[in-house]
Structure 1
């Protein structure tokens, strides 16, 4: 196993057990600075297009508008590899956003936004289920107590424990506050109970967020159908990169991978061994001939 394989396996084991995992150094210091600049540019573009003055909490369409910066991050081997290790190969992007939360009065430090599960979430039955989606937060500043760290309830992605109404905005004994560094990522299971905290620092709290989802689920937040995304899919098909094509929502790449999986499963069920060229037919014929020869020989000896 390579170092990357070990890193992915370790991260997957932690997420399966706890519902979340923290991945260090996903973005370098210069990349963090670049995405902070992109957040400002995206906000300015959105305000110009919308004709408003307020800053939006989320700016979507990030891959479409900034593909050279965003694609290497969402396709980063440790992130995409983790998604595939947990969800299988049928993984696509559901959304990519640049998010920001402005500061509030310091007297509200420690206040929660509210415990919730993300889309596709349901009440757990006590056992682990593979995620329908993985949510990735890549933070663009240290997540200090003032900035308002992410709060998670470890194990809540599988534990059938309900929260009372008054608990939804309260600190809980079992919660974990994730004080990430700038450039680190936190990845959570879609069914994990989590909450943001209000930002009482002096600056806007920012992160690059994206969601990996199963290809069988309809894209809800972003169609990835602008000219840049279409060009990226075309390039992936031209170079034979089916993994990237699936990530970008290419239906043909998904269909081909599904058909290969069905053929492999069928071969496994009938005991066919994969061979060269057109595959397994010559070997299958040889095995049939060997069985006939063996049966004929056994009959001669018995007579």
Structure 2
């Protein structure tokens, strides 16, 4: 996996701590792009939304980066915010721009490894090197690498820069969206990792139980409904989708989240297929990158690196 410590690269960061639990570390860069450049909820100001100023680094395999990719497409930002895509295999050098199908090289910082982008922003950076990364070409730095905040910026900040209007975080629904997001993040989005990276049976058992309690809750919530909150697509749907679409191909087997599959839940399966058909969802989902990344990168979980042929899933 790897990490940077005072600007120096170190390989071999552990998935779980001594107690057997996986704990995701907070993102490091927390500035916000805003319509007028005023400071956002965190960080400093000076990041005004402008066409051509910003560049997004993603992995097609990563569910957190996938959120940003969906929002970028749905908001019509593809001509406004540039894009680079890393290789699916994350090994001793972390995310790289090695040649491969679907990889888009870094033409901004000309990096071979994503860590070089972090070091271009802070030569003494300490922390994990993750995606997504939103880069400011004007100031030569990382604006933000927290996916939940990047999608909020993409949702509204660029409307005056020529992006499509309309919000996935309407004011009247924000309280409910935040409540749904909090549970889904803890027990589903991050829950699959807490189960998959657990190194003690008791920890794994507890996390899998919490995960499937929430999937059962979501199944009941979607009875007779098309969306998680209200009667429109919101960011809650985007945040859940990127985990659901990876669940049966990867998390069910690779992370041992195998009590049930998404196809075994009538409402969740209907909901997943409906989202997949929407602009920005299925057309940004790359199952080749997804399966190759998880099965070849996590050698502590899958030592042989063999990528399974199945399951054969028809999201249409």
TM-score when normalising by structure 2: 0.24
Judging by fraction of residues, say which structure has more strand: 1
